[in-house]
Amino acid sequence: MKGLGRVRLEGIEKRYGTVSALKTVNLEIRPNEFFALLGPSGSGKTTTLRLIAGLEIPSTGHILFDDQDVTDASPGERDIAMVFQSYALYPHMTVAENIGFPLRMSGVPKRQLASLVRDAAARVRIDHLLDRRPGQLSGGQQQRCALARAIVRKPRLFLLDEPLSNLDAKLRVETRVELKSLQRDLNVTAIYVTHDQEEAMTLADRMAIFMDGEIVQIGAPAAIFERPATLAVAGFIGSPPMNLVRAHADGAAVRVGDTVTPWHGRIPGPPRDIMLGVRPGDIAADGQGLLAEVYVSELLGETTIVNLKIGAELVKMRVNGGSPFRDGEQIRVRLDPNRLHLFERDTGKRIEVEADSK
Amino acid sequence: MTRGGVRRRLAKALIPASATAVLALWAFPIFWAIVVALKSESEVLAFPPSLVFKPTLANFGDSLVGRFSILPEMWTSLVISSVATLLTIVLAVPASYAFARLRLPAGKFLGFYVLATQMLPPVGLVIPYFLILNRVGWLDTYQGMITVYLTFSLPFAIWLMVSFMEDIPREMEEAAAIDRASRLKTLWYIILPQVRGGIAVTVVFVFLNCWDEFLFAVQLSGNHVRPVTVAMYNFVSVEQTLWAKLSAASLIAMVPVIAIGFAAQRHIVKGLTVGAVKGGGRR
């Protein structure tokens, strides 16, 4: 019987000898949610996925699927399917045999198996390749074959470990869209590991950000983009990422270098050095504000990233169209006072600002 | 012509020439065995050796079905070698899988143990083996010879197959585990089909070693159980050596080994090049 697909991790830790790969992870993934585990390599996201899959056993803590403890259950008992980064297709089997393998191991009768395999293959549009072997497929087709093998059994949980990272850029964007619609059609919980923040932002309903074996923030992509909880998250989310510059805060005044940058709000606590974050799109060159030197411009097509030197800091500003500036030109830029992010310099924590309204 | 051009042409001519030379060197004993086997015993001993003679198949006839027939001994060798090879594979497959996959402390010593068994002078083991087999009453028996050959072939086979097993990505098994395959089913459906080449290579090596073995065969068997290598030794005696019949018998004894080599050829080439190129769909 198909469960709901609710996943709960309670106090999960994973140690390899003396090395701690995961430090106390608590996480709840809701039924039918597309949930991304995002983080740089070595941050613990893949370990978390492998724990959920049952390929690793946690050192402490519990894993619950639909309120049922599966911490010690084998992968086969968990009613899950997984797409590996390498696809892990069986090279000696045809596409049809690959897709049918989980059904065969579940004891599905032959005739039913063949029609289920055809359906799954048709869903990812490889039903014309059923007699080929993985070695005769393109990267994109192999990826689809792995997807078909995962969906054929209609699992309660669908795990994806960087499934798009081996595809070229164009195919990756196309497949991303299909993956999202596939998950919606199947109405199944999907847990998706990636180090590509853009992928996570576009696909996920919610996501958890991993840094150094810990979850530093959980939330909807837009919410995390708007209010990153730490300096590290701020520097990780967004493309290009948020500018982070040294600043000094004293009550209502935030100073970058010698210039007071206007903003609306009040910082609690004593005057201190902080980090000021501002996204490239929230900087405008309108003749007032901080003095900056145009360092170099990168045309991206519809927009241009203008690299600025403000004092000793290098700051990226996004402008529409081509760059209106010459390299080396002195300009003045204004940081959008409503869209500044302040972080403690020592702990990296976001400073919750008093009267953070207009 | 440029200097590089000359060098290339020289290399082009030299490589086939040296290959032919090596091949000739390697093939000469076999060629000579054929020549000798086709002569009569008296012609063999003529000096200088006659290159023009009237060929006869009598020696082959004698060695096959005649007075000197080695067919019973070939059957004995076939039984010993086949059973030893079969047992070796049956035991080495799960053992090598375990060595390749499970983190066993003994794994580190496997390579050393294998090398050690290859380095030991076999003659040093003859007496211990003799004493052991004598104690259990297995001297001059099939089970005795098979056991002795197993002790040599098993570590070698495990060591050889571990490398084939290690070439299979772990993710393949993890995928199988998620697809609800047990360890045994994973071994059967996922691992074994992918190490067919390795098994073929191992079968050939192990069979060859058992078939060709002489030292233990002559010391630990020879009356009730007589392998073909021992039988051939009987052509050599104090009074006379039947060189022509010995040559014919040697050539006949080579046939099964050559047959196995041909049968496994396709797999062997595949097996020996494993890891040279990335397998399709693996990565």
Quick one: average pLDDT of A271-280? 92
Tokens of B130: 């003799």
Residue B270 has pLDDT above 70, yes or no: no
Interface test with B, best of A52, A80, A84 (most B CBs within 10 A): A84
Distance CA B13, CA A203 (A): 63
Number of residues in chain B: 283
Per-residue confidence at A230, pLDDT binned at 50, 70, 90? Answer: very high
Once rounded to an integer, what is the mean pLDDT over residues B227-254?
89
Residue B266 reports pLDDT greater than 80: no
Residues B199 and B157 in one domain: yes
pLDDT of residue A312: 85
The 8-class DSSP code of residue B186 comes to: I
In a domain, B95, yes or no: yes
Return the minimum-mean-pLDDT range out of A286-290, A292-296, A335-339, B151-155.
A286-290
What's the CATH number where B117 sits?
Answer: 1.10.3720.10
| Residue B235 scores a pLDDT above 60 | yes
Name the strands in the sheet holding A214-219, side by side, starting at the edge strand that comes first in the sequence: A80-83, A157-161, A189-194, A34-38, A206-211, A214-219
- In angstroms, what separates the C-alpha of B96 from chain A's closest C-alpha? 20
Q: Residue B271: what pLDDT?
A: 60
**Do B231 and B182 contact (CB within 8 A), yes or no?**
no
Q: What is the pLDDT of residue A2?
A: 54
Given A84, A90, A136, which is nearest B190 (Cβ)? Answer: A90
Q: Which pLDDT band, with edges at 50, 70 and 90, does B215 fall under?
A: very high
Q: How far apart are CA A132 and CA A116, in angstroms?
A: 18
Element (H, E) at A20: strand A19-29
Mean per-residue pLDDT, A133-146: 92
Instruction: Please judge whether B279 and A86 are an interchain contact, meaning their C-beta atoms are less than 8 angstroms apart.
Output: no
Q: How far does B264 lie from chain A, in Å, by closest CA?
A: 18
- Could you tell me how far CA B91 lies from the centroid of its own chain? 18
Do the Cβ atoms of B218 and B233 come closer than 8 Å?
yes
Q: Closest approach of chain A CAs to the CA of B193, in angstroms?
A: 7
Q: Is the pLDDT of residue B4 over 90?
A: no
d(Cα A49, Cα A154) in Å, to the nearest integer?
A: 19
B101 and B184 in a single domain? The answer is yes
* Average pLDDT value for residue range A301-317: 91
Which pairs with CB-CB distance under 8 Å and at least 24 residues apart come from A213-222?
A213/A20, A213/A21, A213/A22, A213/A23, A213/A43, A213/A44, A213/A47, A214/A22, A214/A23, A214/A24, A214/A25, A214/A44, A215/A25, A215/A26, A215/A27, A218/A27
Integer Cα distance of B283 and B280 in angstroms:
8
Query: Which of B263, B271, B96, B110 shows the shortest CA–CA distance to B195?
Result: B271
Q: B147 and B264: one domain?
A: yes
Listed in sequence order, the residues at least 6 apart from B47 whose beta carbon sits closer than 8 Å to its beta carbon are: none
pLDDT above 60 (res B277): no
Q: pLDDT tier at B213 (50, 70, 90 boundaries)?
A: very high
B196 and B69, same structural domain? yes
Query: First-to-last CA distance in chain A?
Result: 53
* Chain A stretch 89-128, residues whose beta carbon is closer than 8 A to a beta carbon of chain B: 89-92, 101-102, 105-106
Q: Are residues B169 and B191 both part of a single domain?
A: yes
- What confidence category does residue A101 fall into, taking pLDDT thresholds of 50, 70 and 90? very high
pLDDT, tens digit (0-9, with 9 covering 90-100), for A171-193: 888 889 889 989 998 899 999 99
Same domain, B132 and B265: yes
Name the pLDDT band for B280 (thresholds 50, 70, 90).
very low
| Domain boundary pick from B60, B81, B106 | B60
- Under the banding of pLDDT at 50, 70 and 90, the label for residue A126 is very high
- Give the per-residue SS3 of A159-211: EEECCCCCCCHHHHHHHHHHHHHHHHHHCCEEEEEECCHHHHHHHCCEEEEEE
Give the C-alpha separation, B281 to A142, whole Å.
7
- Domain stop point among B13, B36, B60: B60
CATH of A7-231, one of 3.40.640.10, 3.30.390.30, 3.40.50.300, 3.30.70.580: 3.40.50.300
| Residues facing B127 on adjacent strands | none
Q: What Rg value do the Cα atoms of chain A yield, rounded?
A: 24
- The single-letter code of the amino acid at B127 is I
Residue B1 pLDDT: 54
Q: What is the DSSP letter of A139?
A: H
- Find the CB nearest B281 among A74, A82, A133: A133
Asked if residue B223 has pLDDT above 90, the reply is no
What is d(CA B252, CA B247) in angstroms, rounded to the nearest whole number? Answer: 9
**Mean pLDDT across the stretch B270-274?**
58
d(CA A149, CA A157): 13
Check whether A108 has a pLDDT greater than 60: yes
Distance CA B170, CA A88 (A): 9
Q: CA-to-CA distance for B39 and A278, rounded, in angstroms? A: 98
The alpha-carbon radius of gyration of chain B (Å, integer) is 24
List CB contacts of A260: < 8 A, sequence separation 6 or more.
Answer: A253, A254
Per-residue 3-state assignment (H helix, E strand, C coil) for A35-91: EEEECCCCCCHHHHHHHHHCCCCCCEEEEEECCEECCCCCHHHHCEEEECCCCCCCC
Q: Tell me the pLDDT of chain A averaged across its residues.
A: 91
Do the domain assignments include residue B277? no
Whether the per-residue pLDDT at B12 is higher than 60: the answer is yes
Residue ranges covered by each domain of chain A: 7-231, 232-344
Is A91 close to B280, i.e. CB distance below 8 A? yes
Report the 10 Å Cβ neighbour count for A52.
Answer: 26
Whether residues B54 and B136 share a domain: the answer is: no
What is the domain count for chain B?
A: 2
Interface ipTM: 0.84
Cα dist from B173 to A81, A90, A126, B107, B192, whole Å: 14, 9, 24, 20, 12
Q: Enumerate residues 6+ apart whose C-beta is below 8 A from B277.
A: none
Report the candidate in B189, B169, B165, B200 with the shortest Cα–Cα distance to residue B94.
Answer: B165
- Digit-coded pLDDT (tens) for B84-100: 999 999 999 998 998 88
Taking 90 as the threshold, does the pLDDT of residue A215 lie above it?
yes
Helix axes B142-166, B71-101, angle to 10 degrees: 40
Among B43-52, B75-84, B220-229, the least confident range:
B43-52
Q: Is B52 within a domain?
A: yes
Asked if B172 is an interface residue toward chain A (Cβ–Cβ < 8 A), one would say yes
List strands edge to edge, sheet with A330-335. A283-284, A330-335, A290-299, A303-310, A313-320
> Do the domain assignments include residue B74?
yes
Instruction: Give the model confidence (pLDDT) of B237-247 as tens digits.
Output: 888 888 999 99
Strand A157-161 and strand A19-29: the pairing is unpaired
Q: Is A55 on the interface with B (CB under 8 A)?
A: yes
> What average pLDDT does the structure give for chain B?
86
Residues of A in contact with B193 (CB under 8 A): 92
Token pair 């919606």 in the structure block, residue = A184
Shortest distance, CA A197 to any CA of chain B (angstroms): 24
Residue B279 forms part of a structural domain: no
- Under the banding of pLDDT at 50, 70 and 90, the label for residue B263 is confident
Q: Is the pLDDT of residue B265 over 50?
A: yes
Q: Is B126 on the interface with A (CB under 8 A)?
A: no
B52 and B77 in a single domain? The answer is no
Report DSSP letters for B215-237, one per residue. HHHHHH-SSSS--HHHHHHTTB-
Query: What residue numbers bound the domain in which B123 lies?
Result: 62-272
Give the HSE-up count for residue B145: Cα atoms under 13 Å, Cβ half-sphere: 31
Question: Does residue A91 have a cis peptide bond before it, meaning omega lies within 30 degrees of 0?
Answer: no
Please name the member of A81, A86, A89 whose beta carbon is closest to the beta carbon of B178. A81
A257 pLDDT more than 70: yes
Asked if pLDDT for residue B282 goes beyond 70, the answer is no
pLDDT value of residue B2: 67
The order of strands in the sheet holding A19-29 is: A19-29, A7-16, A60-65, A68-69
Pick the CATH number of A232-344 from 3.90.550.50, 2.40.160.60, 3.40.50.11540, 2.40.50.140: 2.40.50.140
